[in-house]
Amino acid sequence: ASIFKDVTQGLPIEVFSVNKQYLDDPASTKVNLTIGAYRTNDGKPWVLPVVRKTEKSLAEDDTLNHEYLPVLGLEEFTSAATKMLLGGDSKPLLKGMTFGIQSLSGTGALRIGAAFLKTHLNRNVVYISNPSWENHQMLFRHTGFEKIESYRYWDEKNKSIDFEGLRSDLENAPENAVIVLHACAHNPTGCDPTQEQWIEISNIVKKKKLFPFFDCAYQGFASGNLGKDSWAVRYFANEGHELFCAQSFAKNFGLYNERVGNLTVVVNDKEKIKAVQSQFQLIVRGMYSNPPCHGARIVSAVLNNEGCFEEWQSAITEMSGRIIKMRKGLRERLEAKTKPGAWKHVTDQIGMFSYTGLNVEQIEILKKKYNIYMLSSGRINICGLNTNNLDYVANAIADVVG
C-alpha cells in the first residue's frame, strides 16, 4: 500500500486542458482561442525583436555570471518596473515611498503580496471580482485567507460592467478587506472602469479602509500606452493610498516562461520601508529563496535603455494594434451575419480577451462541429484570430447563435 493511497484526483485546470484538446485535434481548420498568449497573424508565438537582440547581447557579455540574485531581486529591474507602473512623476515615487520586489511573474507577485497581508497585516478577507482570472481565488485560499468573497463586475444583459453592483458590494465590504483590482484589460471580461468610476472606487476604498491590491498583467496591452493602461494605479498612488500592485512581464514582453514579475509596494511612512522589505525578504527566503535572473536582465536592459525602450514600445503598439484590428474584423463580420448592434461589446472591450456572451451549448458546438476552442465561460483570446481564420470563426459563431 502507498502512503499516497488517499490522494484524490485534482480537478483539471480548464485553460490548460482545453488547450491540450486543441493541440491533440488533428483537424487542419482548428482554431485556438483559449490560452492567454499573443500570436502573430500567422498564428505563431512571437519573440519580440528587442528581446531577441537583448538576449544575444547578454549571451555575448562575458562579465555576466550566474551568481544568486539578492532575495528581493535585481535592483535595476525592480526600480525600472516600479517607475514604469507609477510614472516618473508619481508623488510617492518622488518621495521615496515605493519599492519593488522581483517575483515569479505576476502570479508570484500576488502570492508574496498575499502572504505579507496575511502574516504581517493580519488580513483575512479578500474581495475578488466576479468573474476574475480563475487563479485569484486559489491563490488567496492557499495563502490562508479565511474568507474569499466576490464583488459584482459583469452585467450579463448589457455585456459591460455592473458598476452599481460593484459599488454596492465594495461599500458593504468589511473594513480592512483586501480588494483585488485589475489595473487594466480585465481578465476575462475585457471591461475596465472609466476614469470617473475609478475615482469613485478610490473614494470607497479610502472611506471603508479597504486595502487595494492591483493586478497589472497587461500594461501596454490594453491601449498600447503605458501611462493610460496604469492610470488607475497611478491615480490611487497619487491619492495617498498605500497599496500593492503585482506586475507581470509575461504578455507585454512575451516572456511567459521566464517568470518576470514585480510587486510594487507603496508605504506612506518612509521610515517603515526597511522593516517591510526585511519581512518580504523572509517571506521570499522561506518560499523560493531568490528569483531567477535571465528574464529580469532582459526587461531591465530594455527599460533602462532609451533606444531599446522605443523598440519595445513599437512592438507593444504592433501587438495591441493587431488585437484592436481583429476585434473590429470580428464585430463587422458578426454584425453582417447576425443582428446589427449585437456585437458592440467585442470592440468596447479591451486587452487580449473578449467575453463573448456565448453559452456552454454554443461553445460545445463550436468545438465539435468547427474545431474552435474557447473557455466554457465564453472568454476568447482575440490573439487567436488572424486574417486567415477570421471569416471561418465569424461564420461558425453566426451559425451557433443562429
Cα distance between residue 45 and residue 84, in whole Å: 25
Nearer to ligand PMP, 84 or 334 (CB): 84
Question: Dihedral of CA 150/154/155/160: which sign?
Answer: positive
Q: Which spans in 74-194 are helix H? A: 75-86, 91-94, 105-120, 135-143, 163-171
Virtual torsion, Cα 244, 71, 58, 86, nearest 10 deg: 20
Instruction: Find where cell 446589427 sits.
Output: 340
Instruction: Find where cell 474568507 sits.
Output: 147
We find the least distance from the C-beta atom of residue 106 to ligand PMP, in angstroms, to be: 3
Instruction: Find where cell 482548428 sits.
Output: 30
Catalytic residue among 83, 118, 159, 251: 251
Instruction: Find where cell 506612506 sits.
Output: 268
We find the least distance from the C-beta atom of residue 182 to ligand PMP, in angstroms, to be: 6
Nearer to ligand PMP, 103 or 371 (CB): 103
We find the least distance from the C-beta atom of residue 154 to ligand PMP, in angstroms, to be: 14
Amino acid at 184: C
CA-based nearest residue to 246, from 105, 62, 398: 105
25 catalytically annotated: no
- Per the structure block, which three cell numbers stand in for 275? 522593516
Catalytic residue among 162, 192, 215, 229: 215
Nearer to ligand PMP, 80 or 97 (CB): 80
We find the least distance from the C-beta atom of residue 244 to ligand PMP, in angstroms, to be: 13
91 catalytically annotated: no
We find the least distance from the C-beta atom of residue 249 to ligand PMP, in angstroms, to be: 7
Nearer to ligand PMP, 106 or 291 (CB): 106
- Phi/psi of residue 173, nearest 5 degrees: -75, 145
Give the three-class secondary structure for 358: coil
Give the end-to-end CA distance of the chain in Å, rounded to a whole number: 55
- Per the structure block, which three cell numbers stand in for 208? 471603508
We find the least distance from the C-beta atom of residue 315 to ligand PMP, in angstroms, to be: 18
We find the least distance from the C-beta atom of residue 79 to ligand PMP, in angstroms, to be: 19
We find the least distance from the C-beta atom of residue 69 to ligand PMP, in angstroms, to be: 18
Output the CA–CA distances (angstroms, integers) from residue 185 to 21, 175, 215, 223, 280, in the order listed.
27, 27, 10, 9, 28
> Do strands 260-266 and 353-355 pair parallel, antiparallel, or not at all (unpaired)?
unpaired
251 catalytically annotated: yes
- Per the structure block, which three cell numbers stand in for 167? 459599488
Nearer to ligand PMP, 38 or 99 (CB): 38
Cα distance between residue 78 and residue 100, in whole Å: 5
Nearer to ligand PMP, 103 or 389 (CB): 103
Nearer to ligand PMP, 170 or 250 (CB): 250
- Per the structure block, which three cell numbers stand in for 374? 474557447
Buried (b) or exposed (e) across 179-210, using 16+ Cβ within 10 A? bbbbbbbbbbbbbbbeeeebebbbebbeebeb
Where does this chain bind ligand PMP (CB under 6 A)?
36, 105-107, 133, 182, 187, 215, 217, 248, 250, 261
CA-based nearest residue to 183, from 244, 127, 250, 130: 244
Catalytic residue among 133, 198, 231, 312: 133
Nearer to ligand PMP, 343 or 355 (CB): 355
Residue 2 Ramachandran class (φ > 0 left, ψ -120 to 50 alpha, else beta): beta
Catalogue the active-site residues: 133, 215, 251
